[in-house]
Structure 1
């Protein structure tokens, strides 16, 4: 796991969350810009999935591999599931679903960093 990828993902999640909160305050339903932000976040998460698996294969660290890979896969699936449910609910609730998904991604990123660093499995 590279620190710069971790930082990029947290920044992307943060920017997306701010965009969603602004539109929630403005009482707007999910917009195309939200889905574009989610697509960018998903691409970065897929890059992290590949980089993380390669890093796990090459590391000498004491990392619980199954837990680490399960966090990587789950994190890559969260934006897809969130976008799916948001598309099913085309109201302000859909925007809230997207916000919950992006906050979940950020939380899983922090936990993933802990697992990689060996502070818990």
Structure 2
């Protein structure tokens, strides 16, 4: 895993969560910029998944491969699932669905790092 990419995902995710929570508290529905930001976050997560896959193909990687892959697949699926959920929910709770995903992602990224290199973390 690339630590700089992991940190970027975590920071971007928390910024998007804050923005979406502000929209929720202001009673605003989800708008296109929310979707675009969620899409950018999703691309970052996909990039991390591709990099991790390449490193695993080279022989590097975690001892608990099945657990790592299950976390990785879940992380890749969370942003689009919550974006669709937020898009369908046309009330103030649409941005809250994206904020939920953006709060979960940093926690799961920390867990991925722990699985990848348990000695260092």
TM-score in terms of structure 1 length: 0.89
1:56–1:65 Cα contact (<8 Å) kept = no
Aligned partner of residue 68 in structure 1, secondary structure: helix
What displacement does 1:57 show? 2.7
What displacement does 1:112 show? 0.8
Q: Matches of 1:8 and 1:72 in 2, distance apart?
A: 16
Structure 1 unaligned regions, length at least 5: none
What displacement does 1:9 show? 0.6
Q: Which residue of structure 2 aligns with residue 92 of structure 1? A: 92
The equivalences for 1:16-55 within 5 A come to 16-55=16-55
1:63–1:118 Cα contact (<8 Å) kept = no
Cα RMSD, aligned residues only = 1.5
Q: Which residue of structure 1 aligns with residue 102 of structure 2? A: 102
Runs of 4+ in 1 over 3 A off after TM superposition: 59-62
- Length, aligned pairs only: 119
2:55–2:61 Cα contact (<8 Å) kept = no
Structure 2 unaligned regions, length at least 5: none
What displacement does 1:58 show? 2.7
2:75–2:105 Cα contact (<8 Å) kept = yes
